[in-house]
Amino acid sequence: MRTVPDSETPAADGKRGPARERPTMKEVAALAGVSLKTVSRVVNEVPTVDPALVTKVRAAMDRLGFRPNLAASNLRRGDGRTHTVGLLVEDVGNPFSAAVHRAVEDFAAQREVLVLSSSLDEDPERERRMVRALVDRRVDGLIIVPASSDHRYLVAEQEAGTAVVFVDRLPTPLVGDAVVTDNREASAQGVRHLISAGHRRIAYLGDTESLPTARDRYAGYRDAIREAAARGCVADPGLVVQGLRTVEAADAAVSELLSGPDAPTALFTSQNLVTIGAVQALHRTGSQHRVAVVGFDDIPMAQVLDPGVTVLAQQASEIGRLAAQLLFARMAGDTAPARAHVVPSRLIQRGSGEIPAA
Amino acid sequence: MRTVPDSETPAADGKRGPARERPTMKEVAALAGVSLKTVSRVVNEVPTVDPALVTKVRAAMDRLGFRPNLAASNLRRGDGRTHTVGLLVEDVGNPFSAAVHRAVEDFAAQREVLVLSSSLDEDPERERRMVRALVDRRVDGLIIVPASSDHRYLVAEQEAGTAVVFVDRLPTPLVGDAVVTDNREASAQGVRHLISAGHRRIAYLGDTESLPTARDRYAGYRDAIREAAARGCVADPGLVVQGLRTVEAADAAVSELLSGPDAPTALFTSQNLVTIGAVQALHRTGSQHRVAVVGFDDIPMAQVLDPGVTVLAQQASEIGRLAAQLLFARMAGDTAPARAHVVPSRLIQRGSGEIPAA
DNA sequence: GATCCGCCGGACAACGTTGTCTGTGGCCGA
DNA sequence: TCGGCCACAGACAACGTTGTCCGGCGGATC
């Protein structure tokens, strides 16, 4: 296809292969006129090498474009550290995952460690496949937002020396450190916020009940409602809609709730897509200044909307940072018993949650 | 050193070490009572192995939790493929990067390839450092959203067999395939859209002029204004504000423009943060239904706002997918001359860009 | 029953690198 | 001047895996 350039330098390799191979220490040694081992010493910055030789070797390395093969190095070295960790999230494209990703990356990068990431799309089978792929590459550690519901298969990996930390959901059984949001308590806090603004008919709009986090958030809602029963808060099943997974579904659910006879005066939404759908429905029906909303999860543009959207913001960066910190501690040999770490969410008041009851 | 466990499982290893080491093929072979090579054949699914032995070997692998060491395998194998590619973006946490990331990951995952990603934060030095880190890990290919302005240092890597594809910005000089947005043409299209709604005084709110993409977008703005000069479009320098990098700066700039004497009747914003700031300023001053806006880059919640925000949406997923496709073609040996591929942006009309001139 | 062929398992070397050990040269002190 | 010691280079093996080669065994055919 591409004829051999008969001009200058790499003319001799008349092979049609797309590229010559990477130079090895052997070639560097030959060019520099030293032994292979000396090159190794230069690469590893052993201080006892003759400075003149160091210069010669460095020059040879630059000329050949030599870069050490980390894999071969790890293989030979005792510790077998690849300086790479794995990160399995729901979807690297979604804001929560991306924020966690960034925080993990920052923590790792400071330690010269790179991150191999992958999306699971809530597929348990994919979780196992990706764990295998990462283990095959001998990552030093693994941060997982679980998609599966049985993590015993990871015990073997941990025993084999791969540290594992879970994020956002607890592993079952608890086979490793976990970093989670205070779903139940934060939800209760959000609902109490609405109650303190005078609301008594507060709707709950939630995700699929099969998700543990969704269950916890619903539990928090009920906690707060129950606490305020004496003050007239009603636990009306007609105010609870679950199984919402899209903006459209949430929009429709809110529209229906508001047009009904005993409409709620406030909404608590359990998740960002649901919040967006609810806000959209309120704006479309012109009731955004009349019906209060508090959402779980921050949403983009929340402060630009009118009114601003009051939310319980998960601290995704802090969650990622803490997960990385725990992971690196394990990798460094920490053998303390595994435990769950709870990162509190923050209530951000922007207006929609402070609308008083009529 | 470590005596043969005289009982069954690994109960004998009463060592306090954090973990025993990973089993190797040798240990699997010993447990299964076959040769090391036979285990290798089973792992590689060579068809000529006695089924009875396959079963025995598989059982031994499961019992020990054996997983092949891909690094060692690559080392020995001729091709030296790590089945890993590198992705360097501006920030894995921002929506554009995250969408590109996801698209690349999807393309790679179908081919059993994992993605090592890292954020560059527009730091040229960091770009070089991360490229080195990825090369040291012998990634098969590299997708880069450039932060530096001289990419000749990558030629050596390409010659050494690492495929490279650039995204969002052209490398200088053009040392590899690139996938870019049609910044200039799309901007012109957006401004023409405003002109066709009757606007003649159209402001340009842009990012730092040092960014090539920002320059192209500004050029597109000027193209469209110049075309319409006969129709009375003014190229007023007072309508151009550049160097905006944050929501706050854009908000302030818009507020000032609108309060001036010859205020624009429409805004063209060159980037999502700027668009958000502009929208925020319009809403705060109550002019969102009077002043038209077209923004480059989609913004979240654009359809929830009133009016919806008209934008030129970059097709980040398509850009990522195409970049991955080109990369894998190069990795498979494609030696066609490098060229730039332009992915068109889409004009999404949501209301703010269709407000007629007063 | 003998020969040949084919099929499958095992020994060996090598991928690129580094730890260990040995060997050599130079320098300093007595 | 000589001995000893230290500083540094080089040979060798090994990390975990796989390609190559060879040898042995079983079955089939005459």
Question: Are A74 and B75 in contact (CB < 8 Å)?
Answer: no
Question: Are A94 and B98 in contact (CB < 8 Å)?
Answer: yes
Report the candidate in A80, A90, A86, A154 with the shortest Cα–Cα distance to residue A116.
Answer: A86
Question: Are A306 and B300 in contact (CB < 8 Å)?
Answer: no
User: Measured between CA atoms, how close is A78 to chain B, in angstroms?
Assistant: 11
Domain boundaries in chain A?
9-68, 84-181+317-343, 183-314
Which residue in chain A is spatially nearest to B126 when comparing CA positions? A109
Give kind and range of the element (H or E) at residue A252: helix A247-259
Closest Cβ–Cβ partner in B101, B118, B283 for A114: B118
CATH numeric code, A183-314: 3.40.50.2300
CA B156 remoteness from chain centre: 23
Task: Give the per-residue pLDDT at A20.
Answer: 55
Read off the tokens for A261.
Answer: 């006879």
CA B222 remoteness from chain centre: 28
Amino acid of residue B291: V
Are B1-68 and B183-315 equal in CATH topology?
no
Sign of CA pseudo-dihedral B212, B218, B219, B224: positive
Instruction: Report A:244-303 residues touching B (Cβ under 8 A).
Output: 276, 279-280, 283, 299-301, 303
pLDDT, tens digit, 9 for 90 and up, residues A136-168: 999 999 999 999 989 999 988 888 889 999 999
Contact A308, A352 (CB under 8 A): yes
Cβ neighbours of residue A108 closer than 8 Å, sequence gap 6 or more: A85, A114, A115, A324, A328
Q: Is A58 exposed, middle or buried (0-12, 13-18, 19+ CB in 10 A)?
A: middle
Contact B253, B279 (CB under 8 A): no
pLDDT digits (tens), chain B, 358 positions:
333 333 333 333 333 334 457 888 888 888 888 888 888 888 888 877 778 888 888 888 888 889 999 999 988 887 778 999 999 999 999 999 999 999 999 999 999 999 999 999 999 999 999 999 999 999 999 999 999 989 999 988 888 889 999 999 999 888 899 999 999 999 999 999 999 999 999 999 999 998 889 999 999 999 999 999 999 998 999 999 999 999 999 999 999 999 988 999 999 999 999 999 999 999 889 999 999 999 999 998 888 888 999 999 999 999 999 999 999 999 998 989 999 999 999 999 999 999 999 7
C-alpha span between B170 and B180 (Å, rounded): 7
User: Measured between CA atoms, how close is B160 to chain A, in angstroms?
Assistant: 5
What CATH fold (topology level) applies to the domain A9-68?
A: 434 Repressor (Amino-terminal Domain) (1.10.260)
Closest Cβ–Cβ partner in A134, A136, A335 for B68: A136
Task: Give the per-residue pLDDT at B280.
Answer: 92
DSSP H helices, A33-137, are 36-43, 51-64, 70-76, 95-109, 124-136
Question: Are A98 and B94 in contact (CB < 8 Å)?
Answer: yes
| Coil, strand or helix at B106 | helix
| A21 touches B: beta carbon within 8 Å | yes
| B136 touches A: beta carbon within 8 Å | yes
DSSP letter at B247 equals H
Question: Are B115 and A116 in contact (CB < 8 Å)?
Answer: yes
C-alpha span between A297 and A310 (Å, rounded): 10
Task: Give the per-residue pLDDT at B20.
Answer: 55
C-alpha span between A71 and B35 (Å, rounded): 26
Q: For strand D, which nucleotides have at least one atom less than 7 Å from a protein CB?
A: 7-12, 14-20
Determine the distance between A77 (CA) and C19 (C1') in angstroms.
Answer: 8
| B350 touches A: beta carbon within 8 Å | no
Determine the distance between B37 (CA) and D30 (C1') in angstroms.
Answer: 37
Phi-psi region of B328 (alpha: psi -120 to 50; beta: other; left: phi over 0): alpha
Q: Is the CB of A255 under 7 A from strand D?
A: no
Q: A10: cis peptide before it, omega within 30°?
A: no
- Residue listed under structure tokens 């990160």: A87
Task: Give the per-residue pLDDT at A128.
Answer: 95
C-alpha span between A13 and A3 (Å, rounded): 12
C-alpha span between A122 and B356 (Å, rounded): 46
Closest Cβ–Cβ partner in A70, A92, A300 for B102: A92
Determine the distance between A18 (CA) and C8 (C1') in angstroms.
Answer: 37
Read off the tokens for A207.
Answer: 């995700």
Question: Are A105 and B118 in contact (CB < 8 Å)?
Answer: yes
Task: Give the per-residue pLDDT at A344.
Answer: 97
Question: Are B65 and A132 in contact (CB < 8 Å)?
Answer: no
Cβ neighbours of residue B160 closer than 8 Å, sequence gap 6 or more: A19, A20, A21, A22, A23, A65
Amino acid of residue B125: E
Determine the distance between B34 (CA) and C6 (C1') in angstroms.
Answer: 22
Read off the tokens for B341.
Answer: 């591929």
Determine the distance between B59 (CA) and D25 (C1') in angstroms.
Answer: 26
Q: What is the mean pLDDT of each run of 10 residues along chain A (358 residues)?
A: 34 38 85 85 82 83 90 83 95 95 97 96 95 94 94 89 93 89 97 97 95 94 96 92 95 95 95 94 93 95 88 97 97 91 97 94
> Smallest CA–C1' separation from B78: which nucleotide?
C15
Mean predicted lDDT score pLDDT of chain B = 89
> Smallest CA–C1' separation from A79: which nucleotide?
D15
What b-and-e string marks burial along B285-320, b requiring 16 or more CB atoms within 10 Å of the CB? eeebeebbbbbbbbbbbbbbbbbbbbbbbbbbbbbb
Alpha carbon of A68 to those of A121, B235, B341: distances in Å? 36, 56, 33
Q: Is the CB of A26 under 7 A from strand D?
A: no
Q: In the CATH scheme, what architecture does the domain B1-68 have?
A: Orthogonal Bundle (1.10)
Determine the distance between B81 (CA) and D26 (C1') in angstroms.
Answer: 39
Nearest-Å Rg of the Cα atoms of chain A is 28
Mean predicted lDDT score pLDDT of chain A = 89
Task: Give the per-residue pLDDT at B303.
Answer: 84
Domain A84-181+317-343 class, CATH top level: alpha beta
C-alpha span between B75 and A307 (Å, rounded): 60
What CATH fold (topology level) applies to the domain B183-315?
A: Rossmann fold (3.40.50)
Task: Give the per-residue pLDDT at A256.
Answer: 96
The beta strands (E) that lie in chain A are given as 84-89, 114-119, 141-144, 163-167, 177-181, 202-205, 240-241, 266-269, 292-296, 310-313, 340-343, 346-348
User: Measured between CA atoms, how close is A92 to chain B, in angstroms?
Assistant: 6
